[in-house]
Structure 1
């Protein structure tokens, strides 16, 4: 059984138990600021069938607001940077969600771009292979960029691969207010804004402190108020 089929079997089993549970109150609208506003946005879209209900693919959009095009940082087979006029589009046709928006002055956003430009090829060197589960994959890349470039945004629980740290690893969380310890099999995350998460075979369950919510391994990833 290949990895993609194993992933589908595991996550669909989780979905069967929780498919009626995912619900977000006061969901953040998936809209981006106007062109004159500098920002970094972190988005994700639902994966195609058969894992639509339980997996998402993340990417980063940057607007320096210097009359240049939007920048997109993403990983398909390799991590890359490109310009885009369609920041909400991706290879799928599912729900697209905005998980975080960092709005700062142009100088601060340019520094984030410089960091992303430096860290993207470094990621490709560190992770030459791609594995759907437990990673490294597209969500591993986005999570690493958020942590290394000080972009305080948390990915949703269904961004499988976001917690990949190799065979064993410890790091700060992408939100910047907690720590996590993960192995290929299991892990745990604890943070002021992240709450408490337990990771098992790439799936995430937990409790968010504020806004209050249960964290579930099925889209949209939460039962409660929207946060990420």
Structure 2
């Protein structure tokens, strides 16, 4: 029995080192070599000019963006937000959660703004009639988010900015979108449960610290201390801590 337990511990340690610690260490070295802004005051928070002018895009749109967080935290994680625009609207609406003051913010930055100087990446988008039908559902999910009071934000393991967007995506499964594996806090279930099941798959999570997801846009993911490794089979890719998605 002791020998079995010893072998199991050894294999689990190798699994953790190979799929979690090794890629995170390599990415950390690469990220550190590029440097980062030491102060939020010096960072670039301007538009990355990814989105067109709202007047030039009449269709209703829902988009999700993410960008590396500031300073050393960018080794591990991204900050995410959601952008919506009604049909024929003259402006974009950006919703996100931040770690200071009242957490939920609307239009605190340009819809496609850099975060701590880091370029935003598009996680996914839908437009047209489908987006128009889902925008009220997205806004309702924003209004229901349970961690909107001062002091509710927790950088790790959550609830944080990624918990907010992931909650909206789970409450709007028709979007068929998932946050990147580097969205630390996305697996913190805002309703306090340890398990959720929907048309977008199954998720088991102990306060965002340990768990797994299977099915839907997340594919197969294993979460250990907020770090995620897994496989995306909808859009073939390997998911690794630090690096995120490696694939199509």
Distance 2:71 2:25 in 1: 15
Q: Unmatched 5+ residue regions in structure 1?
A: 1-10, 23-29
Is 2:238 the partner of 1:214? yes
Q: Which residue of 2 aligns with 1:8?
A: none
Q: Normalising by the residue count of structure 2, what TM-score does the alignment of the two structures yield?
A: 0.70
Distance 2:30 2:179 in 1: 19
Q: Contact 2:51–2:112 (CA<8 Å) still a contact in 1?
A: no
- Given candidates 73, 76, 80, the residue that maps to 2:105 is 80
CA deviation after TM superposition for structure 1 residue 61, in Å: 0.8
Is 2:70 the partner of 1:48? yes
Q: Which residue of 1 aligns with 2:38?
A: none
Distance 2:84 2:158 in 1: 25
Is 2:194 the partner of 1:169? yes
Distance 2:157 2:147 in 1: 19
Q: Which residue of 1 aligns with 2:117?
A: 93
More strand by share: 1
More helix by share: 2
1:186-225 superposed matches below 5 A: 186-219=210-243, 221-225=244-248
Is 2:145 the partner of 1:136? no
Cα deviations by residue, 1:26-84 (Å, 9 ceiling, x for unpaired): xxxx9446512221000011111112232100001112132331111111141233387
**What is the number of equivalent residue pairs in this alignment?**
202
Is 2:64 the partner of 1:64? no
Is 2:24 the partner of 1:15? yes
CA deviation after TM superposition for structure 1 residue 207, in Å: 1.4
Q: Unmatched 5+ residue regions in structure 2?
A: 1-19, 32-48
- Given candidates 167, 180, 188, the residue that maps to 1:156 is 180
Q: Which of 1 and 2 has greater Rg?
A: 2
Q: Contact 1:38–1:64 (CA<8 Å) still a contact in 2?
A: yes
Distance 1:211 1:149 in 2: 20
Query: Which structure carries more relative contact order (alpha carbon 8 Å, separation 6+)?
Result: 1
Q: Normalising by the residue count of structure 1, what TM-score does the alignment of the two structures yield?
A: 0.76
Instruction: Give the CA RMSD over aligned residues.
Output: 3.0
Q: Which residue of 1 aligns with 2:36?
A: none
Q: Contact 1:187–1:200 (CA<8 Å) still a contact in 2?
A: yes
Distance 1:91 1:222 in 2: 19
